[in-house]
Copies of this chain bind each other. A is one copy, B any other.
Amino acid sequence: MPSYTAPVKDMQFVLHDVLKVTEQDVPGYNELEADFTSAILEEAGKISSEVLQPLNVVGDKEGCVLENGVVRTPTGFKAAFDQVKEGGWTALDCDPEYGGQGMPYVLGVAVGEQFTSANMAFNMYQGLTHGAYSAIHAHGTDEQKSTYLPKMVSCDWTGTMNLTEPHCGTDLGLMRTKAAPQGDGTYKITGQKIFISAGEHDMSDNIIHLVLAKIEGGPEGIKGVSLFIVPKFLVNEDGSLGERNGVAVGSIEEKMGIHGNSTCVMNYDGATGYLLGTEHKGMRAMFTMMNEARIGVGLQGYAQAEVAYQNAVIYANDRLQGRDVTGAKNPDGPADPLIVHPDIRRNLMDQKSFVEGARAFTLWGANMIDQHVRSDDEAAHGIVSLITPVIKGFLTDKGFEYATAAQQVYGGHGYIEEWGMSQFARDARITQIYEGANGVQALDLVGRKLAQDGGKHVMAFFDLVKSFIKENSGDEDYDKAFLEPLKAASKDLQAAGMYFMQNGMKNPNNALAGSYDFMHMFGHVCLGLMWAKMGKAAMVALEGGASDTAFYETKIATGKYYMARQLPATAMHLSRIESGADTVMALDAANF
């Protein structure tokens, strides 16, 4: 049976040693004193380990069951959801005007990592609600906000996002769901949506669906898509629940993983819907949810790798098999623990250095969202919008890769469901697919974000790397171990960008054929930057006489590993990119 311990100390390190949140001039950040964040994270960690994690395997085994139009969630999910609600966790970073606690997003993300590592399928019920809350908060009328938000902040009502239809996922312009205006400001929504996470379940009194649909007579394609609020139960003027709306679950999907979350086919049959935001501008409103969701999904990727890693370490210390070639480490036992073997360590260090880098990267992203939302920092907004597809695509590809690598440490036992390692891999797998498959993230990055505002944001990113290197060089060992590899990787990334500029003009395929490699390069450079920052912060702490020397020395050693063993990947990606589109596009479709 797997276990989970919240990495509070590592999170504190990122918040306070690296990001130095209390020193930032962001409204609300002054509250984030180390003692305060530590208390919150410890408390969240307790719920994660004691309440959510034990239900993870239950959720996987039982799954959700649809009977007579009602979806039954796994044993224990409802009680745990009530406990999370009562603890105020769903309100943590929500607007106080609607009952939220008004904490910064960066803290919400740290707590979210814990809940997700403990039980990803469970935490999605809350995560989807948060996304819908944000969309209504950003685009709703005052009346919509006061009607829905207080109940969604408390998760008495949960939320969903409805984009996909059987014949369209990425290409939403093909959408067929219709919205017929009723003349009273409401619409009748008719159509079928698929892959709706938490579309129907038994944990909340009402479900607020956000649904993309086309208003009859509107523009063709993606330009005619609007967003609607479609509650499961209509809400009376006094806020009480009224009649059942014309939306029903058709079936639930049998999936590779996240069995504890109900993935629904939703049928809309003249359901009453309320326009959210401007008509035909539904994609803009939806992107409020999607950007938040993409960061949340990147987080899911590395959070699964984190919990899988923790269990792999326990197993590698417990399981006795073979002897250290340089001399027995457990001479009185029948064999040495797995962790003495260099290739087991290589595997564990790959995992560890990724997860800790990914955490810093994600919290940095969340920090920039706070800077934008709370301080109107447009430069921060530009960079976080640039790196959002990298957080989503790179962290989920690697998250799955390392959840699988952790499973590998268990040998044959890793393949047996009883041990729980297969679930981490199966659950992580969806993160590469939903909220825009990773190929679409790469396309967003290269086809859209790179050139946005005349390339201003990517230039700002490179400047940021350059300034960091300049401001922090001087220590010979640090420069060699951290700054030189970062400089080389960043140079590779710039060269790739240059290749796209020079060759994408004459044929856009030269850029698009390299987009996936570019996303991965970008991810490595970002994690390299994070490790350079963490290495520096650890050195500063040690120089300042920090007592826990092992903790900081481990950070430096782990960072050195990442720089030496992971950053060389950028050269490979550059080679692939510079080989251009010719070999990629050579075959006729019939010759595949």
Residues of chain A at the chain B interface (Cβ within 8 Å) = 164, 167-171, 173-174, 194-195, 253-257, 313, 316-317, 320-322, 325-326, 334-335, 337, 339-349, 352, 400, 404, 407-408, 411-412, 414-418, 422, 425-426, 429-430, 432-434, 437-439, 442-443, 507-509, 512-513, 515-516, 550, 554, 557-558, 560-561, 564-565, 568-569, 571-572, 575-576, 579, 581, 583-589, 591-592
- List, in ascending order, chain B residues with CB within 8 A of A325's CB: 508-509, 512
Q: Are A422 and B256 in contact (CB under 8 A)?
A: yes
Question: Once the chains are docked, how many angstroms separate the CA of A345 from the CA of B572?
Answer: 19
Instruction: Give chain B residues whose Cβ lies under 8 Å from the Cβ of A557.
Output: 583, 586-587
- Min Cβ gap A307→B in Å is 14
| Contact A561 B586, beta carbon cutoff 8 Å | yes
Minimum CB–CB distance from A407 to chain B (whole Å) comes to 8
- In the bound complex, CA of A171 to CA of B584 (Å): 45
Residue contact B416 to A255, C-beta cutoff 8 Å? yes
Chain B residues with CB under 8 Å of A418's CB are 253-254
- Residue from the list B414, B426, B568, B591 in contact with A554, Cβ < 8 A: B591
Closest CB of chain B to A369's CB: distance in Å? 26
Most B Cβ at <10 Å: residue of A169, A422, A439, A550: A439
**CA of A343 to CA of B430 in the docked complex: distance in angstroms?**
19
- A339 in contact with B589 given A415-B430, A439-B344 (CB within 8 Å): yes
- What's the least CB distance linking A219 to chain B, in Å? 15
Contact partners of A168 in chain B: CB under 8 A: 321
A255 and B592 within 8 A (CB):
no
Q: How far is the CA of A404 from the CA of B426 in the complex (A)?
A: 11
Chain B residues whose C-beta falls within 8 Å of the C-beta of A345 in the assembled complex: 513, 584-585, 587
**Residue numbers in B under 8 Å from A422 (CB-CB):** 255-256
Q: What is the minimal beta-carbon distance from A67 to any residue of chain B, in angstroms? A: 20
User: How far is the CB of A424 from the nearest CB of chain B, in Å?
Assistant: 11
CB contact between A348 and one of B561, B569, B592 (< 8 Å): that residue: B592
Q: Given A349-B584, A411-B169, A561-B584, decide whether A343 and B515 contact each other with a Cβ distance below 8 A.
A: yes
A433 touching B416 by the CB < 8 A rule? no
Bound CA span A558–B426, Å: 31
Complex contact A591–B550 (CB within 8 A): yes
Known contacts A408-B433, A515-B343; decide if A583 and B554 are in contact (CB<8 Å). Answer: no
Residues of B near A425 (CB, < 8 A) are 256, 429
Q: Is the CB of A253 within 8 A of B352?
A: no
5 residue pairs bridging A and B, Cβ less than 8 Å apart: A169-B321, A171-B322, A254-B417, A337-B589, A349-B587
Cβ-closest 4 pairs across A and B: A568-B575, A342-B512, A564-B579, A256-B422
Q: Which residue of B lies closest to A323 (CB)?
A: B171
Q: Closest CB of chain B to A539's CB: distance in Å?
A: 16
Please tell me which one of the listed residues B253, B335, B583, B585 contacts residue A564 in the complex, with CB atoms under 8 A apart. B583
A169 touches B417 (CB 8 A): no
- Chain B residues near A437: list those with CB within 8 A: 408, 411
A332 to chain B, nearest CB (A): 15
Chain B nearest CB from A265 CB (Å) reads 11
A407 partner residues in chain B, CB cutoff 8 A = 429
For residue A443, which residues in chain B have a CB less than 8 angstroms away from its CB? 343
How many angstroms between the C-alpha atoms of A417 and B256 in the bound complex?
Answer: 6
Residues of B near A416 (CB, < 8 A) are 253-256
- A584 engages B433 (CB within 8 Å): no
- B584 adjacent to A439 (CB under 8 Å): no
Q: Is the CB of A343 within 8 A of B417?
A: no
Is the CB–CB distance between B343 and A516 below 8 Å?
Answer: yes
CA distance A109 to B277 in the complex (A): 62
Enumerate chain B residues within 8 angstroms of A592, measured Cβ to Cβ. 313, 316-317, 339, 348, 352
